[in-house]
Amino acid sequence: MTTQTRVLEPEHWDEFYDRLERAFGGPADHAEERELWRGLTETERSLAVWDDRGIVGTAGAFSFRMTLPGGSLLPVAGVTMVSVQPTHRRRGVLTSMMRRQLDDVHEGPEPVAVLTASEPAIYGRFGYGTATLQMRGDIDTTRTFVRELPGMDAVRLRLVTPEAAREACEAVYARLVPDRAGMLARQPGWDRQALLDPPSGRDGASPMTCVLAEVDGEVRGYARYAVKLDWSPAGPDNIVKLSDIDALDPVTYAALWRYLTSIDLSSRISFWNKPVDDPLLHLFSDVRRCRLSFRDSLHVRLVDLGEALEARTYTAPVDVVFEVEDAFCPWNAGRWRLSGDAKGATCARTTDPADLALSVKELGAAYLGGSTLRAQAAAGLVRDARPGALAEASTAFAGDVQPWLPHGF
């Protein structure tokens, strides 16, 4: 099979997207969703693999800025729209696209690539490590209740359409971005993604609505949700399907949850993406009734290792030499000395003996402060050559706020 990989020409976007949809299976996107992705696609960063009959492979990248431990924003490549036609699988098309894409990112200004995976087993071979988890829940609101906090009754709630509330919600979101590693600053057009609500995606639920939470006239939080009717012979058991909930302070957050748990005729709240250390773990009277589960979310690839490790800060002083394996991006392989603390860091090549041996995948997993080096060592993935080095590095990389990716891409 002869194929050719080219940067996507804008006039081929429809074929590119049709092929992507076919590779994923299922029905075609609603027109509203398709137009959103058309507008967000950065064609000059998208790759199409062609054979003599058309496009057989797709891959794209978004130019994101992501919060790092310490609060700075790093330009990162958000890898997306990866697919290979069912007729062309397992012949190395994905590998060739990953090769070209990581070479392009290496030549550009972004030291890190990130993605969410359809299947987490795909990307480790290319050096991506699982850096964040997402928490899902299905709360039985007849059996668990939100704790009362002083001041909750002063929070005023107002129902508005998501469109009318867009700017106010975006202002809240923007203030939260620096507080948690893994959050993405909004790039132009991305505010529309949160409002996507095509009828075909509702699974029988109502259109999405938004509740704004105000204190002294200032919007301090919001939740976007839909309600799915479920009338059993015993009565109503509607489900509140929560898309987003964000607040600038604990009292507003608690007031929003109290509201959601008390919507008439409903007995469940389902949500699919909150941080694993979300305050809701402490807000509900019986967390077991929240029926929580966890899943991998953001996968991180350090493309330019030294630059990436210098871009973040470290919880505690660290001075260690890593022996890094990186078969797919060999420019990262070898020994690196990382010296840093809460103010900043340097990371440079060294000939000093190694303290810790690991692959770039483990460093990617630990990069945002979620998955610890110690836990990965316990799985045999990080090897300690100097006593104490593992504890030192693991403590320095970890944070007291768990990283989180707020939305898919």
Ligand X SMILES: CC(=O)SCCNC(=O)CCNC(=O)[C@H](O)C(C)(C)COP(=O)(O)OP(=O)(O)OC[C@H]1O[C@@H](n2cnc3c(N)ncnc32)[C@H](O)[C@@H]1OP(=O)(O)O
Question: Is residue 83 near ligand X by the rule CB under 6 A?
Answer: yes
Nearer to ligand X, 8 or 226 (CB): 8
Question: Under DSSP, is residue 273 helix (H, G, I), strand (E, B) or coil?
Answer: strand
Largest CA-CA distance found in the chain, in angstroms, rounded: 73
Closest C-alpha among 281, 63, 240, 256 to residue 172: 256
Q: Are 294 and 364 in contact (CB under 8 A)?
A: no
Q: What angle do CA 234, 240, 241 make, to 5 degrees?
A: 135
Kindly state the smallest distance separating residue 113's Cβ from ligand X, in Å.
10
Query: Using the rule CB under 6 A, is 118 a contact of ligand X?
Result: yes
Q: Looking at beta carbons only, is 235 or 330 nearer to ligand X? A: 330
Size of the site for ligand X (CB under 6 A): 22
Q: Which sign does the torsion angle of CA 225, 226, 229, 230 carry?
A: negative
Choice from 119, 203, 264, 400 touching ligand X (CB under 6 A) = 119
Selected from 6, 91, 156, 349, the binder of ligand X by CB under 6 A is 91
Query: From CA 116, how far away is CA 264, in angstroms rounded?
Result: 36
Site membership for ligand X, residue 115 (CB under 6 A): yes
Of residues 20-39, which lie at the interface with ligand X (CB under 6 A)? 23-24
Judge whether 90 is annotated as a binding position. Answer: yes
- Per CB under 6 A, 81 contacts ligand X: yes
According to the annotation, is 124 in a ligand binding site?
no
DSSP 316: S
Report which residue type is found at 207.
P
Should residue 90 be labelled a site residue for ligand X when binding is judged by CB under 6 A?
yes
- Which of these ranges, 8-16, 87-95, 315-323, 377-385, lies near ligand X under the rule CB under 6 A? 87-95
Which of 240, 286, 235, 232 has its CA nearest to residue 266? 240
Q: 129 a known binding residue? A: no
Residue 89 makes contact with ligand X by CB under 6 A:
yes
Return all residues near 287 (Cβ < 8 A) that are at least 6 apart: 144, 281
Concerning whether 123 is annotated as a catalytic residue, the answer is: yes
Q: Which of 84, 300, 345, 356 binds ligand X (CB under 6 A)?
A: 84
Cβ(272)–Cβ(406) below 8 Å: no
How far is the C-alpha of 235 from the C-alpha of 219, rounded, in Å?
36
Tell me if residue 17 is catalytic: no
Specify the residue, 24 or 331, whose C-beta has the smaller distance to ligand X.
Answer: 24
Residue of the chain from 10, 54, 92, 408 that contacts ligand X (CB under 6 A) = 92
Q: Which is nearer to ligand X, 110 or 246 (CB)?
A: 110
123, 222, 314, 328: which is the annotated catalytic residue? Answer: 123
d(CA 94, CA 36): 25
C-beta of 91 vs 158, nearer to ligand X: 91
Distance, CA of 210 to CA of 78 (rounded, Å): 28
Residues binding ligand X (CB under 6 A): 23-24, 79-84, 89-95, 115, 117-119, 121-122, 125
Annotated binding site for acetyl-CoA: 82-84, 90-95, 118-119
For the annotated catalytic residues, the residue numbers are: 123, 409
